[in-house]
Amino acid sequence: MFPCKASCAREQTNGAKTAQHFTAIMGILLCTTAIIFYWHGSYTFAPLEYHILTMPIFTAAPALILFNLETLRQLVFPILFLFFLTPIPEELLFKLSNILSTTSSLVSSSVANVLGAICRLNARATSIFADLENSKRD
């Protein structure tokens, strides 16, 4: 017997037979979504990020098709590790590093000002925090 339970009828506790097509349809939709996402990523400037991002979806889809939702719930933790393997896009990484750099310079400048040292930030910084700091001075 094949391990595919999606197309087999299963008897419930009340005696009625119901077909378990829901998880198979969800798995097929997930697999189709992953294929479309993989195909779309192949035509971008960073295809590797899209290809790695589709790997957990390709892992979850066969679990739904071949098994059931409870098996997928047991596989959530390993699938999340596959999501953590996905590299952060460079644009987002640059924006986050800019915010982190600006925030750390504002904190250190504020601490230095509280301790009595005169400290001013460069007004040419291109960040939201620098614009807020410039508006406070005016």
List, for residues 91-117, the tens digit of each pLDDT value.
788 899 999 988 888 888 888 888 888
Host domain of residue 116: 91-137
Q: Which tokens sit at 7? A: 């197309």
Biggest alpha carbon distance in the chain? 81
The domain boundary, picked from 70, 87, 104, lies at 87
* pTM for this entry: 0.56
Asked if residue 83 is part of any domain, the answer here is yes
Asked if residue 4 is part of any domain, the answer here is no
Asked if residue 33 is part of any domain, the answer here is yes
For the cut 90, the answer to whether the pLDDT of residue 31 exceeds it is: yes
Query: Is the same domain home to 76 and 15?
Result: yes
Asked if residue 1 is part of any domain, the answer here is no
Q: Is residue 2 very low, low, confident or very high in pLDDT (cuts 50, 70, 90)?
A: very low
Query: Is the same domain home to 103 and 35?
Result: no
Asked if residue 16 is part of any domain, the answer here is yes
Query: Is the same domain home to 22 and 80?
Result: yes
CA distance 86 to 138: 44
Phi, psi of 102 (to 5 degrees): -65, -40
The domain boundary, picked from 87, 108, 125, lies at 87
Query: Is the same domain home to 37 and 74?
Result: yes
Asked if residue 27 is part of any domain, the answer here is yes
List, for residues 19-29, the tens digit of each pLDDT value.
468 888 889 99
Query: Is the same domain home to 83 and 95?
Result: no
Count structural domains, the chain: 2
